[in-house]
Structure formats: structure tokens, C-alpha cells
A and B are shown apart, each in its own frame.
Chain A
Amino acid sequence: MKRVLKKALFPGLIVLLMVFPLLAAVGCGDGGEETTPEATSQVTPTATAQATPTPTVAPTATPTATAQATPTPTLETYKIGAVFAASGRNAPLGDPEKKTAELLEKQINDAGGINGHKLDIVIYDTESDETKCVLLTKKLIDQDNVIAIVGPTSTGESVALLDTVTKAKIPLVSCAASYKIVQPVEDRYWIFKTPQSDLLAADQIFSYAKKQGITKVATICDSAGFGKNGEEALTMEAPKYSMSIVDKESYGPSDTDMTTQLTKIKGTDAQAIICWGTNPGPAVIAKNVKTLGITLPLFNSHGIANQEFITLAGDAANGVIFPAGKIIALNAVPDTDPQKPVLQKFLTDYQATYNSVPNTFAGHAWDAIQMVVMAMTAVGNDKAKIRDYLENDIKSFAGTGGIFNMSPQDHNGLGPGAFLMVKIVDGKWTAIQ
């Protein structure tokens, strides 16, 4: 009986499978194209008067021409897509990114939207899964008809999107770290990123170490993307500062004890330890360093630029030195720094809404969304124009990660001034020279 059933099912299923994409193509055929805003109000560049992006757009988020309390309902909604790893292995990075997106969406709409257009940020959770990220991005492009995409959270997910985003001709502003996301720039026409480059962080660490007379270091990096890229960055930059890396150790992102690797380092002639990873690894390492009684200076990457590191490592966090985005040591940032008001407002708003301090990853999402919003404010709802704006018109933009100057050769836009060297003293961040 069952065999008869299966015999009937089999050809039926085959037919269904063969026909399915045709059905998909025929039903609701305008799935891929966005309607160009011709009949609806056209964005007039003069009204917005944003010749150069200034911090005033960002914190206050009031489009100048239309000063309405709510977006005009008759104008079409501007849609930005967002793919963040709000759960899974990268949740500590992706969840704050998601929260930032939701916060900004509300702020911008409360201030009247983008030139009166309501802003809709469609956010999907990739669960730290590359395949899922690609599928969700296709969903954003084809079903939600977004005009630009922000995210994803990790390098792997970002590079996985290259093909999809390039074929769909839609601009992407990634919140992930590796320089490989935006280089070689000829193959990255549609892709930008906001986090500071690992190479910059490595430079910062080495130049500080050199000033302290250090010439030999040992590295301990996590084996996942962030750590491995960091190890690569350190290896690449070391010769420029006459540094030699005497020992390279590694640990798994979820490992809970690194005394073995540190014991090994203790037996070398390294004069300093450079740790590269995201929490909780570096916190475990800081504690292990203290337990083992190692007195060598412990450097870290910008991956620990958040309160969580101090909460986890406790006393062991004191003495750790690392390059931080200014969001961390705000009190050390002079009032004349154009980033200060931006950071101040972001910190205050985020804290008020979520009762927690935003970390650098939240900042990356903030920078990404603001840039897209600035582009939309200036050129409207056009993917290619937004891309061109991002490439050519983001100059001296004070974001949380630094001051951005994008160009056709540089889709990241940050220079050495993006980082502050910070030391943790008494559980607080203090800027050091």
C-alpha cells in the first residue's frame, strides 16, 4: 500500500519541483525592482543642504527642509536592510548592532524621517551562520525591496555576500573587521565597511610598545576570524617596527583555560604579550596571566573595548593596554574633537533606551546606518546613487569609530587617528600616550 502511495508521489513531486521556479517567477513578478520615486516627492538636494556631512545630521537627525514631527504618510517608505548575528556565537557583537539599528530607526522617524520619508530598517538575525546570512540577504533584496544593506556582523558572512550583493547591484556597509572585505577594491565596488582595520590596531600597539623599548613579543590569538586576522595583521606589521614575534600561540574562542599557552610563553624571552580576540577569551587570558604571576605587559586588541572585559576579568583587567575606539574613554577625548558630541549623544541615548553601555560593535552599526541615511537624504532612493555617495561624498564624517573619509581606493575610510591607546586603571579606562 505504501509503495503505491510512493509511486504516485514521486512523479508528482518531480513535476512540482520542476515547475516551482516558474511559478515563483510568474507570481508577483515585480519582486526585484524597486519603484523609482517619480510621482512621490523628489528629494531636493538644496533643501537638505548637506554639502558636507557634518555631525549635526547624525545626533539630531533632523532633515532640515521638512520639520515635521512624524514622517509624511503619503511618501514612500525608505527601506534599509540589516543582517546581524543577534544570536549564536557572535551574539555579543550582533545583538548590540541590532539594538542600535532599532534605536536609530525610532530616532530618525521621530524627527520626521528622511526628508519626510518614513525609515524602515528591516532586521534579520543570521544566527552567526553564513548560509543563512546569504539567504536572508536575498530575502531583503527580493522580498523586502531594500535599497541598501547594513551588516553583517562577521567577516565570513560579509565575504559570503560579495557575489549576491554585486549581482543585485546594491550597496552594503559591513560591520565586520577584516580588510579583505573591502580589498581588492576593484572587486568590492558595492561594499564598504565601518570598523577600523586590524592593521591600524596592530600599528598602534607596536608603535606604543616600541616607545617602551620592547623588541620581542609573543602573540596569543583566538583561532576564529577576528583572532586569526589579528595574528596576520601583527605578523605583517611587526617588521615595520623592528619587532620580532618569538612565539605565536592560539586558543579556541570558547576555550576556558589558557594557562598552558601562557606557561609556554613564560618560558620564552618575550618582553610583552599581545592577545587578540573577543570576549570571553581575553578575559580568561588576563586572569590566567595574573594567576601565573606573569609580570610582562599585556596588550590586547580593540576586541576588548567594552565594559564586559572589565566585568569578567575583574582585578586582572588592570594594567591591560589596548587601542580603543574613542567610545570607550570618552572622558579622555578633548571637547574640541568632532567625535565627542556624536559619541556623547550615542552613549546617552543607548543607555537610556537599553539600560546598558553600547560597545564598539554597536558603534560600527551606528556609523554604517548613519552613512546610508546621509546618502539617502542627499540622493534619495537609488541604489547606484547611494553607492556613489558613499564612495565619494563621505568626507570628514565624525562617527563613533573615527573620522571617515571614503574614496574609490578606500572603502573603509579610517586613518590612524581612529584609535586611542587606553590603559585600564582601577577598573576604568584611561587614555595614555
Chain B
Amino acid sequence: MPFSGDAYYTAIFIIIAIHSMLVIGLCLLMGYTGQVSLGHAAFYGMGAFISAILTVTYNWSPWLAMPLAALSTGVIAYLIGLPLLRLRGNYLAMGTLGMGIIFFILFNELDQYTGGPSGLPGVPGLSVGGFSFDTDFRYYYLVWSVCAVMLLVSWNIIRSRTGRALRAIHGSEAASEAVGIDVPQFKIKVFVLSAIFASIAGSLYVHYLSYVSPNPFEFMFSIRLVVMAVIGGLANIWGAVFGTGAVTMMDQHLGTFGELDVILFGLILVLVMIFMPRGLVPGIVGLWEKWKNRRTKAKA
């Protein structure tokens, strides 16, 4: 891989890190509790706009704005989750989709606060003491550190009792309830956690670009997040990062095919899902195992 032009590839990986944060939450939600969310861009946008508005219009410090944004998003997710998570399957999908669209419209229309479609430029960058994260190089380490923390948190959840409970819920909600698991409570907790991850991602995004607008938070982006999650592999956390990286890199490099890039993107999605239906990580691991088995068989 050509590493010339450091800021470009570094920038891509910054975006991959930020998007991964979103997808990690989604993997927990979809892969472990089986709740689908087609509107996750809404939480991304909430974090982004709250951070942006507080720092631009009210001159708050980004380090105060970000946690407040995460907290607010968590609260909003809780309030929305209570009625919404009572829905099942396709209805939940519909509900989250609707939520995503409503928030997008709000971001667009409440232009006295959000700046409307033209957005708010001038969002300050991040700095600690005298050290400011104003180059791609520094921002890269910042966002990947945050991402690593989120991965650790998620991994701990999965390995713990909570994780087993979550998988039980995914298997069968009725059975879980019969065993005494408080299903609604778990579902909401994971929903809120994934929203908080998304909010932090949103804040990091706007401090990186120094700009916010409603455009990245549209419905198609929520779908893209789901695509990244599934392509990576829902049932494991590494799938989140891997899937995000794969889709993002593919997106960037298909440009070399000129006009055919969109067509190829769709085609590749279809092919990957046909040949590795559980996602790239399980698929690749599976292939590796098959290859190993073939070798041991040959030896025998």
C-alpha cells in the first residue's frame, strides 16, 4: 500500500475510527441484542450539533461540551427507547428509521440554532493545556485512543454476565424473560450506550472538520452504518472496525474506476454477502480454518 501523502491516508483512518465508534455501538445493539437500528445517524448528529452549538454559539470549552452532549444524547436515547424498544422486528426497524428522519428534519429546520443546511463553520479544534490536536497526525492518535477505549468497554460487557444476558435476549426474548432476565432494561441500556458512543463520535467529527451541517446525518448514512456492521460481522466487535475500514477503503478506492464506482460498490456488497453471509471477519477466519484443516489433512 502506498504510504506517500501522509495526511490523506491518516485522514481516512481518522474517519474510519470515528465511524467505527458508531458501528461498535450498532454491533452491540444488532449483533448482541438483535435490535435493529436504521436511524443511528440521529445520535451521531445529536452529539455533533450539541458540541458544535455549545462551542460556537456559547463559547463553551469542547471538553465540557462533549460530555454534556454525550449525556444529553444518552438521556434522549433513553426517553426515545422506552416506547420505541417495545416494537419488534420490522416495526422496530421502522421506528428507528422514522426517528432518524425526524431528527434529520429537525437539524435542517431549526436553523437559528443549527445553521440549517449551510451549517455552522468555525467549530474550534481540540487542545489540552498548550497541546493542540490540530494536525491529522495528532488527531489520529486521539480518535483511535477513544475507539480503543470503546472497544475495551464493549469487550468487557460481552464477556461479562451482561453479555450472556444480551446473547440470551438475542436468542429468544421470551425464554430470557422466563429465566428472569429483565429484557426491556437490558435493551434500553445497550441502546443508550450505543447512542452515547455515537454522540462522542459526532463531537469528535465536528472538532475535526471545524464544521457541522445536517448533511452527513441523513437516512442513507444510517443505512451505510448497518452495511458496515453487517459486512464486518455482527457477532463480534472486531467486525465493527474491520467492516468500517473495508467499506470506507473500498469507497475511496473505487474512485479509480471513474464513473463505475457506484455500480461496483453495489456489486461488491452483494458478492460479499453471498460468499461470506456472516460478515468478513467470520468469513475470513472460516477460510483460514479451512485452509489449516486442509494442511493437517494432507499431513495425515
Contacts and interface: CB of A to CB of B under 8 A. Distances in A.
B55 interface: no
B50 to A, nearest CB: 19
Interface stretch (A62-70, A71-79, A154-162): A154-162
Nearest to A27: B3
A1 B10 contact: no
B72 interface: no
Interface in B214-264: 215-216, 236, 238, 251-252, 255, 259, 261-262
B5 A31 contact: yes
A163 B122 CA distance: 8
A6 interface: yes
Contact of B4 (A17, A135, A143, A224): A143
Contacts of A130: 213, 215-216
Given A127-B262, A142-B7, A135 B13 contact: no
A225 B111 CA distance: 11
Nearest to A95: B259
Nearest to A2: B285
Contacts of A129: 215-216
A18 B144 CA distance: 8
Contacts of A25: 6, 137
A316 to B, nearest CB: 27
Contacts of A223: 108-109, 117
B101 to A, nearest CB: 11
Contacts of B122: 187
A156 B144 CA distance: 27
Contacts, number: 126
B119 A156 contact: yes
A345 interface: no
A183 to B, nearest CB: 11
Interface residues of B, number: 46
A162 B121 CA distance: 8
A23 to B, nearest CB: 6
Contacts of A125: 255, 261
B9 A24 contact: yes
A228 B5 contact: no
Nearest to A32: B7
Nearest to A1: B289
A373 to B, nearest CB: 24
B211 A6 contact: no
A297 to B, nearest CB: 27
A176 to B, nearest CB: 10
A124 B8 CA distance: 14
A290 interface: no
B285 A143 contact: no
15 contacts: A21-B141, A86-B259, A87-B259, A132-B251, A135-B15, A135-B252, A143-B5, A155-B117, A156-B117, A160-B211, A162-B210, A178-B118, A187-B122, A223-B117, A228-B116
The 10 A-B pairs at the shortest CB distance, nearest first, are namely A28-B4, A143-B5, A27-B3, A142-B5, A225-B117, A163-B210, A31-B5, A24-B6, A142-B7, A139-B8
Interface of B: 2-13, 15, 108-109, 111, 116-119, 121-122, 134, 136-137, 140-141, 144, 148, 209-211, 213, 215-216, 236, 238, 251-252, 255, 259, 261-262, 285, 288-289
